[in-house]
Structure 1
């Protein structure tokens, strides 16, 4: 009788011990929280922003135009230095008597325009490289991604400088 019981139970034990007939779960289905892959450039930009001091009084009226606009950070930095015909390297400020200027590299386009607070004609862009970088950093502090616009305080001969950063293709 004992032998008959074992013979009858062996198929049942074999079924219980055999691997599941269901398809194995995929590795990403084991987690209850969606995984997000972040590119390395994101961390590089964060590190750069953290290491750069921000003067929030350098800008006013900052508006985030399109937070989902794709602007490559390297293009943004290169466009930032290509305003006024180029302020990279040893050039310390905008040269000439420009009322408007643009800086474009790759996916980024900066547009600047002198705005006179007293509404008298003749205001020209008079930005130093350090002041312009402060304005962009302060604006990026409020709008970390996408396109933006704002006013750089005191960046013109008589008044301020309106600027915008938009994505281009």
Structure 2
């Protein structure tokens, strides 16, 4: 009985060790322009981040209603998303949105205002994102 348990444990260890690594999806951002050197409020930014598409918080996983533009705002912080192709519809997922924000912050700094293009996020292509103080 113990031999079987040891054999099972060793085989699971080898299986896990030889399995392909799981890499977090890294969203591509381009045209990143940092528009200020002053970071915006962390909490207000997080609330605004989840206000796009009429609210993408909680169990909602994707922009609802496929709008042609959307704004997420809280206090003096605003995110604006527009498709690169005029008239296209936004269908960005929560994961793609949050990873794109992280990638832009990696360029500009945490909560530093920016403009950028996120790969995907629209039915036919990419989306332009503006993060700003209003």
Q: Which residue of 1 aligns with 2:92?
A: 127
- 5+ residue gaps, structure 2, are 1-23
Distance 1:166 1:106 in 2: 11
Alignment match, 2:115: 149
Deviation, structure 1 residue 106: 2.0
TM-score by length of 1: 0.61
Give the CA deviation at 1:108. 1.2
Compared with structure 1, are the counterparts of its residues 54 and 97 closer, same or farther at alpha carbon in structure 2 (3 Å cutoff)? closer
- TM-align CA RMSD: 1.6
Out of 86, 89, 107, the position equivalent to 2:55 is: 86
Structure 1 spans left out of the alignment, 5+ residues: 1-52
Specify the SS of the correspondent of 1:151: strand
Query: Which one has the largest radius of gyration?
Result: 1
TM score, norm. by length of structure 2: 0.76
Q: 1:58 aligns with which of 25, 28, 52?
A: 28
Size of the alignment, in residue pairs?
A: 110
Query: Are the aligned partners of 1:93 and 1:129 in contact in 2 as well (CA < 8 Å)?
Result: yes
